[in-house]
Every structure is written in structure tokens, then in C-alpha cells.
Structure 1
Amino acid sequence: MNTENPTADHVATEARIKAEIAAHRASVRDVEARCKAAFLPLLIGHGITRVEIHYDGSGDEGMVGDVVAFADEQAAELPAILCDHYSVEFNGEIESRPMQLEDALSAFAENAVCDHHYGWENGEGAHGTIMIDVATGAVTLTHNERFIDYDTTEPEL
């Protein structure tokens, strides 16, 4: 294939792929906003000020761990209430379903990690934390990728 003078089909295909990627990214941001709009008022209403969600994975397997809530600096129980959870399905449609608040937060975290760090569970894997500052609505994803590194030296003896 000549990349210096691409054919019209190549240019059209590239444009279509870029448009599909942009549409998917927009859907992901829309879903993230919808999820936050669903769980933040519930957390505020129950005095939760911060939520931390840990994840870890490697060797083609990964999982979201405990969802830990805080009221100020004290650990707090999440209320056993329903929360709407939104997700982008494989067909690109946005789906909504009610689930327990803790499960909705866990699903939100898993979707966020997969959307922002695709393949995080493969190979040496990765681990991290999603921190939700309930008052500001800020969600911070701290992601740590694992990899094997080596340093080669070849001194002449």
C-alpha cells in the first residue's frame, strides 16, 4: 500500500474509523456523566464524602475490589439502596439498569478502567484506585501499569 498517496477508499475508511472512535468516546463520556449524576446525589444524601474503589489484574484476569466509603475521614457503610447504572453496550447503545449502589459504583469503576486503560488486566497487568470526591464530583483514576524491564550492558573484557 502506498501511504504517500492513499486511495479514495483508504481515505474514506480512515475517516469512518476516526468517526466511529470519536462517537464511542463521546458515548463513554456521556455514560460517565450519567453514572455520576445517578450516584452522587445518593452519596451526598447519606453523608458519604469520599469513595475509593481498588482494582488489580494480570495474566488476562482482573477484578474490581472493595468499594470503601468515607464520611469525612471515617469509614462508613454504603446504604443498601438502588442506583441507576449506565453502560455502553457492544452494539454502541447506552443501557440503563437499577442495581445496588455498591454494585453500581463497582461497575462504574470497571467500565472506567476498561475505557481509559484497555487491556489493563493482560500480561503483567495493572492495579490502581478510583477515588470519588463526592462534594466536588471529581473522579480520579490512579493507574499503575506493571511491566518487566531489564538493563543490558556489554563491557568488553
Structure 2
Amino acid sequence: MSFPDLEISEKTKQSLNVLNTVRAYNRRLILEALKRKSITSVSVVYDGYGDSGGITDFEVNGGKGEADLTDKVVSQVVEPLAATVFDEELTLKDLIESLAMELVESDHGGWENNEGGSGTVTFDTQAMQVRVEHVENYLSHEEYTHIY
């Protein structure tokens, strides 16, 4: 989404740069850890509506399945207001879930509100990428008036 007439402060630009750098670091950390364990992909399925939602399914392809995701990793976390970065130790599964929902929220903020939305976030070690497939639900009305 682009807003060409919107002025963005230098501090906001710096915060966004820090956030994007941390996301890239965590994405690479996850994909490399999965690849070392011979996991070809991990899919995180989410769904929500009516102001609540979350992860509904988690699928691991290759390796030893979810058993491979219990290792601890040191990820990076951004404190948004100060744009400071600190390390946090999580299981690989917790980091995958956290980054998946952060990526959904970054482009589809409020996805769980009203009629909601759903989708799948796939961590693909063969392509070394994360793919977000998102569906937004909405209610549609068509009104007609006829005078004879």
C-alpha cells in the first residue's frame, strides 16, 4: 500500500527500517534452521472473525515433524516505540508462529475483525521464502429500487 502524499517522519522511516531488518534476520534464521533439519516447508493456518482469531493448524513437511521445532533459537525483537532491538530465546515453533502472525498483521492489520479473514503462511526452505496467502471476508449487499 502506498500513500505518495503522506509525509513520513525520519524517525518513522528509521523504525520501519529496523523492523524490516529484524524480520529479514528472523526469516533467514527460521529458514536456515528448517533446512538443516531437512524440513521442506512449514505451514501456519489462521482464521478469525468477530474481533478474535489466531492459528488453527500447523503442518510440518519433512524432517521429524514438529519434534524438530522444539530447539531453542535466539531471535531478534523490536521494541516499536523506541525502535530498539533485543534478543529473545524462543523455541523454533514459537518463533515461526510469531513471525507468521506478524507478517499477516503487517499487510492485513485487523484481519480478525468483523467478518474476518483467514489464510496460510508457508515457510518454504526450497525457495528460501515465506509466502502469505490471505483471504478477507466481507458482507455484501446489493440494493435495488424499481418504480413502475
| TM-score class, shorter | 0.7 to 0.9
User: Which structure's CA Rg is the greater one?
Assistant: 1
1:86 matched to 2:66: no
The SS at the match of 2:22 is helix
Percent identity of the aligned residues? 25
1:138 matched to 2:138: no
Q: Which residue of 1 aligns with 2:119?
A: 128
> Which ranges of structure 2 fall in alignment gaps of 5 or more residues?
1-5
Q: Residue 29 of structure 2: which of 30, 38, 45 is its match?
A: 38
Q: Which residue of 1 aligns with 2:3?
A: none
TM-score by length of 2: 0.83
Q: Which residue of 1 aligns with 2:10?
A: 19
The SS at the match of 2:26 is helix
Shift of 1:128: 0.7
1:76 matched to 2:65: yes
How far apart in 2 are the matches of 1:85 and 1:36? 10
Q: How does 1:25-64 map to 2 (within 5 A)?
A: 25-64=16-55
After superposition, give the CA deviation of every residue in 1:56-102 in whole Å (9 maximum; x if it has no partner). 12222121233211029xx9334121122333323222232111111
Q: Which residue of 2 aligns with 1:96?
A: 87
Distance 1:144 1:19, change over 3 A: farther
Q: Which amino acid aligns with 2:138?
A: F
How far apart in 1 are the matches of 2:40 and 2:119? 20
Shift of 1:156: 1.9
How far apart in 2 are the matches of 1:46 and 1:126? 32
Q: Report the more deviating stretch, 40-49 or 83-92.
A: 83-92
Q: Which amino acid aligns with 1:156?
A: I
The SS at the match of 1:113 is helix
Q: Which amino acid aligns with 2:14?
A: A
Q: Count residues with an aligned counterpart.
A: 142
Distance 1:65 1:24, change over 3 A: farther
Q: Contact 2:31–2:124 at 8 Å: present in 1 too?
A: no
Q: CA RMSD in A?
A: 2.3
How far apart in 1 are the matches of 2:73 and 2:138? 37
> Which ranges of structure 1 fall in alignment gaps of 5 or more residues?
1-13
